[in-house]
């Protein structure tokens, strides 16, 4: 059979059928697995390279199916899954960084990632430097002999800043610096960072990969030798993905591409409707020509994704009034749901940052983030427009 397209793999890759001959993949909801003999059991524990299930903290067929699908979509050799997206991020940091090492990160990262970098990593003697996503030329001067990793979200949360992954790889490869890309906002349906030189790609699968706001999950994919080290860390420290959540996420991947196409179509339509509104100073969306990194977005993304932001002229007070005036769109700190979601990062996800830190990453008092859902686009627009009038 010829090599299948990644979209087909996301639908057709399945755990081997059982004797029941099921068509839909089964859920292996078990904590442990049995052996045919004492010798087999001994071998399983003595050789980490054996492809055998021992305990669902180590591996599980349902979790393995989910990993295999993400790896196929991201053009990666292997992967490992975690209980949450933050566990994936922390696992990468702890596996590949040690006392005395240095990490360079975009300053525009998720609030919890910022907390790990600034509060916890220094406790273990790991130094960090931030760079401005809008000034990639500043990165090279930050590189030290101890720099072991460059970490970036693209597009970033919530500012939708975008950076050229090819350029980052050109800095990292000659210096043996690991390039780690959080691809949560784009998903593998829109962007494959490994194709542009990333070493590891990670996701909060809780977002668009699930797509309906049901379960938590994280996943990291990349080179087999790197994933092996990650696997041992996850196996020994315990932030494993539950089989049930893996089953939900694996089924969700069967519709990821068609969902992301609709998210992006709705988001672009909405962004164009909001441009020039009297109460909005700027609308930001990767596939709007007014986006500062529009050319880079077109180069490495197949669509603009499902997230847009806009800045209310009235600031913090207007942001709260806008959220309170919404009639249909949900107020929640999640994103990537089939239902549209509005959030106000300055008072929620990034509230633990200082005002100076928020300003440095473009989180202004009036910034509104919309996770554009799958509803009829005019209904989404009508709700936003009526809330704007009341803000």
Q: What is the pLDDT of residues 223-239, one digit of tens each?
A: 999 999 999 999 999 99
Q: What is the pLDDT of residues 113-132, one digit of tens each?
A: 999 999 999 999 999 999 99
Q: What is the pLDDT of residues 142-151, one digit of tens each?
A: 999 999 999 9
What confidence tier does 96 reach under pLDDT thresholds 50, 70, 90?
very high
- Looking at per-residue pLDDT, the higher value among 333 and 285 belongs to 285
Which pLDDT value is given to residue 104?
98
The domains of the chain are located at 6-255, 256-390
Structure tokens at 44: 């399983």
Most confidently modeled range among 30-44, 276-290, 337-351: 276-290
Structure tokens at 372: 């554009």
CATH entry 3.40.640.10 includes domain 6-255: yes
pLDDT value at 362 more than 80: no
This prediction's pTM: 0.94
Which pLDDT value is given to residue 123?
96
Among the listed residues 207, 99, 101, the one whose alpha carbon sits nearest the alpha carbon of residue 153: 207
Architecture of domain 256-390: Alpha-Beta Complex (3.90)
Which pLDDT value is given to residue 45?
84
């Amino acid at each position: 059979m010829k090599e299948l397209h990644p979209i087909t793999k996301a639908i057709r890759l399945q755990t081997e059928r059982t004797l029941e001959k099921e068509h839909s993949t089964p859920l292996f909801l078990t904590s442990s697995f049995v052996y045919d003999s004492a010798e087999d059991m001994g071998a399983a524990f003595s050789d980490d390279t054996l492809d055998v299930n021992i305990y669902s903290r180590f591996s599980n067929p349902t979790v393995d199916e989910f990993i295999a699908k993400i790896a196929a979509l991201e053009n990666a050799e292997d992967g490992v899954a975690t209980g949450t997206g933050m566990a994936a991020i922390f696992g990468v940091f702890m596996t590949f960084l040690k006392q005395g090492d240095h990490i360079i990160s975009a300053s525009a990262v998720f609030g919890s990632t910022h907390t790990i970098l600034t509060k916890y990593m220094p406790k273990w003697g790991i130094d960090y430097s931030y760079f401005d996503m809008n000034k990639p030329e500043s990165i090279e001067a930050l590189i030290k002999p101890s720099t072991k990793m460059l970490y970036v979200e693209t597009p970033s949360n919530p500012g939708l800043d975008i950076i050229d992954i090819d350029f980052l790889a050109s800095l990292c490869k000659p210096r043996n610096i690991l390039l780690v890309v959080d691809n949560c906002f784009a998903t593998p349906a829109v962007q494959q960072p490994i194709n542009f030189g990333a070493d590891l790609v990670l996701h909060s699968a809780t977002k668009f990969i699930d797509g309906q706001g049901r379960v938590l999950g994280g996943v990291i994919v990349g080179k087999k030798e790197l994933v092996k080290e990650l696997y041992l860390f996850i196996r020994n420290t315990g932030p494993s993905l539950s089989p049930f959540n893996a089953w939900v996420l694996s089924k969700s991947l069967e519709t990821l591409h068609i969902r992301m196409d609709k998210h992006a179509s709705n988001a672009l339509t909405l962004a164009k409707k909001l441009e020039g509104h009297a109460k909005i100073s700027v609308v930001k969306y990767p596939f709007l020509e007014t986006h500062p990194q529009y050319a880079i977005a077109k180069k490495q993304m197949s669509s603009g994704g499902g997230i847009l932001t806009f800045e209310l002229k009235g600031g913090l007070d207007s942001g709260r009034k806008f959220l309170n005036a919404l009639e249909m769109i949900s107020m929640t700190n999640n994103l990537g749901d089939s239902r549209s979601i509005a959030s106000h990062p300055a008072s929620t996800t990034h509230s633990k940052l200082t005002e100076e830190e928020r300003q440095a990453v473009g989180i202004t008092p009036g910034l509104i983030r919309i996770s554009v859902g799958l509803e009829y686009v005019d209904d989404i627009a009508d709700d936003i427009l009526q809330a704007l009038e009341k803000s």
